[in-house]
Each structure stands twice: as C-alpha cells, then as structure tokens.
Amino acid sequence: MPKEQSKILITGASSGIGLAIASCLIQCNYQVVALARNSSRIPTEVKNNNNFTFISVDFFDLDTLPSQLKSIQKKHNDINSVICCAGKGRFASIEEFSYSQIKELIDLNFTSQAFVVRAFLPRLKQQKNASIVFIGSEAALKGGKKGAIYSASKFALRGFAQAIREECSSSNIGVTIINPGMVNTPFFDQLDFSPGPDADNYIQTNDLANTIVFILESRQGTVFDEINLSPLKKVIDFKK
Ligand SMILES: NC(=O)c1ccc[n+]([C@@H]2O[C@H](COP(=O)([O-])OP(=O)(O)OC[C@H]3O[C@@H](n4cnc5c(N)ncnc54)[C@H](OP(=O)(O)O)[C@@H]3O)[C@@H](O)[C@H]2O)c1
C-alpha cells in the first residue's frame, strides 16, 4: 500500500518517543492520527502538517475511553497500524504507592493500551496487512528495585503482545513489542533519576522512530516479535 494511504494511530504522540515516531512518519508520507491529552508540546510544523491529526484523549479515564475510541475508529476507519506509546514512570517501594497510584499506573501503561487494541482490532483484521507495535521497556524483561508496579504494567503489556501476536497472525497482523532502556525524553522530568549526560548513556528518540519505520516497511512474512534496545553504557544520574 502506498504510504500516503497508510494511516497509523499513535498513542502518547504529544511528547518523547511517540512524538518522534509521529514526526518521522509524517516526514515519510504516512498519515498519522495522534492521541494524547495535550497538544501544546507538539511543534507547530508537525501540528500543521496535512498528514497529522491530533485527538485529545485522557487514558486515565477508562470509563469514557471505550466510547471515545469507538468514535475515533468510526471517523478513521482506514487506520491500518497502531503504535502504543502512552505511558509514564513512577518508581518507589510498594509501600510508598497509594492504592490510586497503583491503579493509575496499571490503567495507563497497560489497560488503556489493551482498550485501544480492542477498539481497533476488528478493522485491522479487515486490512490486507497491519501492524501493532507496543513500546514496552527493559522493565518488561526483568523486575528491579522500586519498579514493582511499573514492571508489572510492562510485563502485562508484553504478555498481551505475545498473546495477540499468536491470535492475529492468521489475520495478517504483525505484532511487535520494543523494549527500550533509558531514552532521553520528558519521561524523566518527574523522576528522581535520569540517564547520564553522555550520548552513549541513552537511546535517542530517533533510534526508536527509525526502528518503527523498519518494522512498518519490512516484508509482511517476517515479524519482529520483540526488539530490545539499550544504551551502550548504562549510567544513571540521581537528582539531589
Ligand atoms: N523514556 C524512557 O527512558 C523509556 C524507556 C522505556 C520505555 N519507555 C516507555 O515509552 C513510552 C513513552 O514514554 P516517553 O519516554 O516518550 O515519555 P513522555 O515524553 O513523558 O511521553 C509520554 C506520553 O504519554 C502520554 N500520556 C501520559 N498520560 C496520558 C494520559 N492520561 N492519557 C493519554 N496520554 C497520556 C503523554 O501525553 P499527554 O501528557 O499530552 O497526555 C505523552 O505523549 C512509555 O510507555 C514509557 O513507559 C520510556
């Protein structure tokens, strides 16, 4: 299918990894439907691009999400790939989490992404070929100190990705999960740590955007089930 007829839904497209993927895909002539709560961080040249449509959605509100997704799906019934990037980090020992913080992190990092796939899967199955890509995390591969809830949300996403990979291959849908280590994005703005300052201490958002293009443009008969990326050197800076 020509790229200009290929419409990609991206969650978490207002910042960081999702924004880099959206910017790269519109440059490559894909059409992008971008979901997030707030478009203020999206550069004007991206917002004004004819291939870019922003829709405000709050994934914390699981009660209204199904009806919102249904109306997006109706309006954009030609979406043929979904890239799930929305998410946030919260790291602390489990006793430091309130019950609502536990629920919120699982809702955003896992449940809302499952709702998105649930909403779009029937149409994806009608496409000649389609892709679903999840941004997981290195925390989807191994649990670590202060990461119990974040890791649980990402392990859930990874299990979900593996299961629908099995379920959807007969419908010509390729399912991939990318598990990055630290990427230099606003993800760390609210955290008490960040990647070290050197260029080999973090993954660049463009590396992820290029990985997505590679997945979307690969031969349909081969699926990249899981891609793990990490910085050359893992250096963590703790903020005082
Ligand atoms: N940065 C890293 O080191 C790293 C490493 C591994 C995995 N990841 C994963 O990569 C994904 C993207 O992270 P990032 O680094 O790009 O972080 P980011 O720059 O903070 O972007 C997060 C995105 O999620 C959206 N989002 C957050 N809460 C939302 C809500 N309630 N409803 C709808 N959208 C919401 C944000 O949009 P709004 O605020 O406008 O709603 C934003 O577009 C996350 O799933 C994260 O877990 C990140």
Burial of residue 53, with CB atoms counted within 10 A of its CB: 0-12 exposed, 13-18 middle, 19 or more buried:
middle
Per-residue burial over 6-32, b if 16 or more Cβ lie within 10 Å, else e, is bbbbbbbbbbbbbbbbbbbbbebebbb
pLDDT score for 212: 98
Structure tokens at 97: 């989490």
pLDDT score for 39: 98
pLDDT score for 239: 85
pLDDT score for 4: 64
The number of distinct structural domains making up the chain is 1
The whole-number mean pLDDT for each consecutive block of 10 residues of the chain, a chain of 240 residues, reads 82 98 97 98 98 98 96 96 98 98 98 98 94 98 97 98 97 97 97 97 98 96 97 93
Residue 13: C-alpha distances to residues 16, 38, 59, 184, 217 (Å): 8, 10, 13, 15, 20
Lining residues, ligand 1, CB within 6 Å? 12-18, 36-38, 57-60, 85-89, 108-109, 135, 137, 180, 182-183, 185-187
* Rounded Cα distance, 28 and 162, in Å: 28
Q: Where are the alpha helices (DSSP H) in 28-178?
A: 44-47, 65-75, 99-106, 112-124, 148-168
Q: Any idea what the CATH number is for the domain that residue 36 is in?
A: 3.40.50.720
pLDDT score for 121: 97
Q: Which of 32, 38, 109, 187 to mutate to test the pocket of ligand 1 (most atoms within 8 A of CB)?
A: 187
pLDDT score for 5: 74
Structure tokens at 117: 């796939």
DSSP 50: T
Residue numbers of the domain that contains 175: 3-238
* Rounded Cα distance, 28 and 22, in Å: 10
What's this model's pTM, rounded to 2 decimal places?
Answer: 0.97
